[in-house]
A and B are shown apart, each in its own frame.
Chain A
Amino acid sequence: RKEVEQDPGPFNVPEGATVAFNCTYSNSASQSFFWYRQDCRKEPKLLMSVYSSGNEDGRFTAQLNRASQYISLLIRDSKLSDSATYLCVVNVGGSQGNLIFGKGTKLSVKP
């Protein structure tokens, strides 16, 4: 089983839609979790960290379910500028050298 799995998409949604991405991870000892955003031919950038209690940043909500080893990202009121690939990232070892990146989920928001 791969360490971090994501639906590759693409998710094609109209502006204003709500879209959810899921991610599962295999290492139950994983300690911290993130969503990164990567625009086409650009570098990844941190979108948000994911906390056990769930966290929200504007239109973005991240949830963590440790029992099911599952992470989600919800985007409300999608904008054209949200079009990108979203990377699920898991720290499996407690140090920065232990980040495992998912392959990413591609989102395309259409007018």
Chain B
Amino acid sequence: DAEITQSPRHKITETGRQVTLACHQTWNHNNMFWYRQDLGHGLRLIHYSYGVQDTNKGEVSDGYSVSRSNTEDLPLTLESAASSQTSVYFCASSESLANNEQFFGPGTRLTVL
């Protein structure tokens, strides 16, 4: 069955370190997204991609970067982790139409000490 996976599921790191969160989908979807979810906020979009070599900034992109070298993967990199980036991170993918469902990965719980 097609799926979307994230790794690691839990990560503890220190302030200033570079961290990369992996997202892999086997749906063959063109669209992929990274969100963060924090108490008191809805899901907020960090970066997204509509296809290979395409990346776009979302609402809360500062301090994050992504790259899309193939259809299946959209890794999220925190260049220099900050305590404010402690959060739960969800990756999602979808087919191209605007009203299509987004399928979410299981999430990565990141703690920055």
**Chain A interface residues (CB < 8 Å from chain B):** 4, 31-32, 34, 41-46, 49, 87, 91, 94-104
Contacts and interface: CB of A to CB of B under 8 A. Distances in A.
Most A CB atoms within 10 A — which of B42, B43, B100? B42
B94 A44 contact: no
7 contacts: A31-B99, A46-B101, A96-B96, A96-B102, A97-B31, A103-B41, A103-B42
Interface of B: 31, 33, 35, 40-45, 48, 50, 56, 58, 90, 94, 96, 98-102, 104-107
Contacts, number: 58
A43 B106 contact: yes
A74 B40 CA distance: 24
Contacts of A94: 98
